[in-house]
Amino acid sequence: LDWVVAHQHDYQTPRLLINLSGLSFINEEFLDFVVHQLKTRGVDPKRLAFEITETAAVDNMDKANVFIDTVRKLGCNFALDDFGSGFSTFAYLKSLPIDYLKIDGSLVKNLATDGIDREMVKAINKIGHTVGAQTIAEFVEDDATLQYLREMGVDYAQGYGLCKPRA
């Protein structure tokens, strides 16, 4: 959060996504810590989104909803990460008030050469938009993949094909 406070006006990103472990977001003390930090550190909550994996959210649905509701009331957004690694969870999307749905990189990395992956990503993108979430494709490594994602209407992409990590 120190880095975010120091640099929150230096970048044109719509949101900085902070990836949480499944153990973190279910810890009530951690939630209290996050709330305290957001209220006292001068961080613009509209610039932040927290993310947890699909599996962690489904395994801890009640606690996920408490965490999501709390940080959203403070102005932050919420992302469901690695979506598509377990398709039995489509129904859970109706129960989680998410802002972003991150499409699992295992489906994205071969998108340009695998028709089945393309159809799966299309379906995830469509259901994400249907529940009111913006979609983010992980593991975008080349221009061909990015072009397919644009044609599908995926909202955002991340991966080395766009930019290598930097400080």
Per-residue pLDDT, 59: 81
Instruction: Return per-residue pLDDT of the chain as tens, 167 residues.
Output: 888 888 877 776 667 889 998 888 788 899 999 999 999 988 889 889 999 887 788 788 888 889 999 999 999 999 988 777 665 567 778 888 899 999 999 999 999 999 999 999 999 999 999 999 999 999 999 999 999 999 999 999 999 999 887 76
Assign 74 to helix, strand or coil: coil
CA 71 to chain centre: 14
Decide if 58 contacts 91 (C-beta within 8 A).
no
Per-residue pLDDT, 96: 85
DSSP 165: -
Per-residue pLDDT, 153: 98
Decide if 99 contacts 75 (C-beta within 8 A).
no
